[in-house]
Amino acid sequence: MSTFVTVDHLEKVFPLTGGGEYLALKGIDLEIKRGEFISLIGHSGCGKSTLLNMVAGLDLPTGGVVLLEDQPVRRPGPDRMVVFQNYSLLPWLTARENIAMAVAEVLSHLSHVERRGLVETHIDMVGLRPHADKRPAMLSGGQKQRVAIARALAIRPKLLLLDEPFGALDALTRGNLQEQLMQICEESQVTAVMVTHDVDEAVLLSDRIVMLTNGPGSKIGDILEVNIPRPRKRMEVVEHPSYYSLRSEVIYFLNQQKRVKQLRARKKPAVARHGLEKVNLEIGFVPLTSCAPVAVAQEQGLFAKHGLEEVSLVRETSWRGIVDGLAGGYLDAAQMPAGMPVWFTVGGHAGRPLPVVSALTMSRNGNGITLSRRLYDQGIHTLNDFRRLLLESDGPQHTLGMVHPASMHNLLLRYWLAAGGIRPDKDITLTTIPPAQMVANLKDAHIDGFCVGEPWNLRAAIEGIGFTVATDMEILPNHPGKVLGVREDWATAYPNTHIALVKALLDACRYCADPANHEAIRDLLARKEYVGTDRRYIHLGDPSQAVCDLDQPMREYAHHLFFGDGVNRPSRTEHLWMLTQMARWGDVPFPRNWIEILERVCRVSVFSTAARELGLMDIRYRTGSLKLFDGGEFNADDPMGYLNSLAIKHEVYIAEVPLDLPSRPAA
């Protein structure tokens, strides 16, 4: 399909009473193909209707341009017909006369017979034959909207624009009209753009869903391709495998925008005090056992002890929330998977490099690979058993969950599978699921297993839903699990605050490592504002064995290291291994300038300063190559040689990452 409508760098500013301006839309870029159905969705006030009005020519942009078939849109025209929520019918005319008047005005070159034929055809098209001679006052809301749609389509517009056309209708009427509209658009190959607040309506009707961020300065936050084949039936669409994932994607976006609005409302300008450039911080975390240092630093007053007197913790349900918060500047810092800083820096998020630095490893280990108990009952107890199952299976492809492409969960799971001769993404499906939803998805048989941090492996085992087939202690012992991440521009703007933050969390890591504190920490993490689960699923100490067995309840688990020799100092070798694994699976290109990237990401000097000021001069750190469970060894001197030696991998791309790009301004 060729490009039909082009929205290029569109901007809209409204003057305010008494002076001043309001920036409604900024930098809107969108291409619409002929015959596409596009939905615009977002919270009230995000500029959906404003954008629709400018495409219609009812309003003009302050900057940028709208093109229809390569011609600028400067005024309304019959080639663009708008259907409003309030119907806009002339009350003294019948349904037939409302349609006929529009046809006579726009298509006056046709004969009377041809015009009448068009009117009658469209009356039948929307099922209005029994009501054609009634005035609007005698029609129901659904019937009035059918008149408006028939009037719009009867003049043969090139583009149909719908502004919440079904918003005021009851559910049954709305559903019937939606199906009629789909049928009409498909039969007539109409190009349509619709504003809606209804997520289900957007998924049902659209080829693509354009999601707008909050104002002021609203922009396109994401565009979702709806891969459900047409023709669609309202009651059948919900059975399509993609339906609920598409719906969840839109709901996640809308919920995240609501959270962003709340964070914006409470975010204050930087407050400087005690020699620190900023003492009021928003710190993100995800509910896992490994969030213990963040919770302890808050509850034990360690942030305040080191001068950070106004710290708010932001509990995100998924790592995607952390990504959005850091990329959008709404979070000052975050607990994040160990691979996320380098993933951000090389352009893993939205294909644009965003330098993120880490000066502290907050935890090591803590991850496990769990398979469904039903697989165990089929005799699947090892990696080799799982490979045999995949080779012999002629049913649907098995699915495993992980939490984020940049997480050690994803990298360890893929490494484990590949070491067993299983090709990730070919022999098996990997899907991203928030950590706290893993157990529910396993229980409902939506997935066959997962790799996640505790307490979710242990919970699946205790509840008899799954079993831990391998812990990270078998795959890559003492690997970095979670790190502290901040944007590079933030670290540059607030260097003393950055050191104070590392000191507070390093102090908390030391507290978490003391067995005398473990019972109190279990109680703390079980609270709803942190992990929010039964304390029997939360364990911190070193278990008796590294490898999990199948006893019920499990005695062993994927335990954490929070503090000690070789634990907290960021390691360039480890970050480089994570970078090679992301490149191995095609998530990012391998950067030619990898040495510069590692120097940029790993802020060893900040860690050293924080440790020295805490009096922790005797902490040692590891050097040398990494030993892997399949007998492999990773040498940081030759990452490309290592990548080339791997038998199972995607095609590896190599590219220069432009580190001289200006960083986004610190929030």
Domain boundary among 192, 221, 253: 253
Q: Which residue has the higher pLDDT, 325 or 547?
A: 325
Instruction: Report the distance separating Cα 231 and Cα 253, nearest Å.
Output: 27
With beta carbons less than 8 A apart as the criterion, state whether 136 and 147 touch: yes
**229 and 375 co-located in one domain:** no
154 located within any domain: yes
- The answer to whether 459 and 635 have CB atoms below 8 angstroms apart is no
pLDDT band (50, 70, 90) for residue 663: very low
Considering the domain boundaries, does residue 617 fall inside one? no
Of the candidate ranges 15-19, 157-161, 291-295, 617-621, the one whose mean pLDDT is the lowest: 617-621
Question: Is residue 337 in some structural domain?
Answer: no
Selection from 335, 341, 326, 338 nearest residue 530 by Cα: 335
Residue 491 domain-assigned (yes or no): no
Question: Average pLDDT of the chain?
Answer: 90
**Is 573 among the domain residues?**
no
Residue 523 pLDDT class (50, 70, 90 cuts): very high
Residues 67 and 206 in one domain: yes
For the chain, give the number of residues: 667
pLDDT band at 667 (very low <50, low <70, confident <90, very high): very low
User: Is the CB of residue 60 less than 8 Å from the CB of residue 42?
Assistant: no
pLDDT in tens, 119-142: 998 888 878 899 999 999 999 888
Three-point CA angle 69, 72, 77, nearest 5°: 80
CB of 543 closer than 8 Å to CB of 555: yes
- pLDDT level of residue 503 (50, 70, 90 thresholds): very high
293: in domain: no
What's the rounded mean pLDDT across residues 622-650? 85
Asked if the structure places residue 287 within a domain, the reply is: no
pLDDT in tens, 266-319: 778 889 998 999 999 999 999 999 999 999 999 999 999 999 999 999 999 889
Instruction: Indicate which CATH number applies to the domain containing 178.
Output: 3.40.50.300
Using CA atoms, how far apart are residues 642 and 635, in angstroms rounded to an integer? Answer: 8
Query: Which of 237, 253, 269 is at the close of a domain?
Result: 253
Residues 22 and 161 in one domain: yes
Give the pLDDT confidence score for residue 660 in this predicted structure. 64
The pLDDT-based confidence of 551 (bands split at 50, 70, 90) is: low
The pair of three-digit structure tokens given for residue 221, joined into one six-digit string: 């936050």
- Tell me which of 442, 475, 508 is where a domain ends: 475
- Does 563 map to a domain? no
H/E stretch holding 474 reads helix 472-475
429: domain CATH number? 3.40.190.10
Q: Is residue 164 over pLDDT 90? A: no
Residue 149 predicted with pLDDT over 90 = no
pLDDT of 485 > 70? The answer is yes
10 Å CB burial of residue 260 (0-12, 13-18, 19+) is: buried
Q: Is the pLDDT of residue 661 over 50?
A: no
What's the structural domain count of the chain? 2
Mean pLDDT of 357-365: 96
Question: 454 is in which domain, residue-wise?
Answer: 367-475
Residues 6 or more apart whose CB falls under 8 angstroms from that of 163 comprise 49, 52, 82, 83, 84, 85, 194, 195
Q: How confident is the model at residue 471 (pLDDT cuts 50, 70, 90)?
A: confident
Are 376 and 249 contained in the same domain?
no
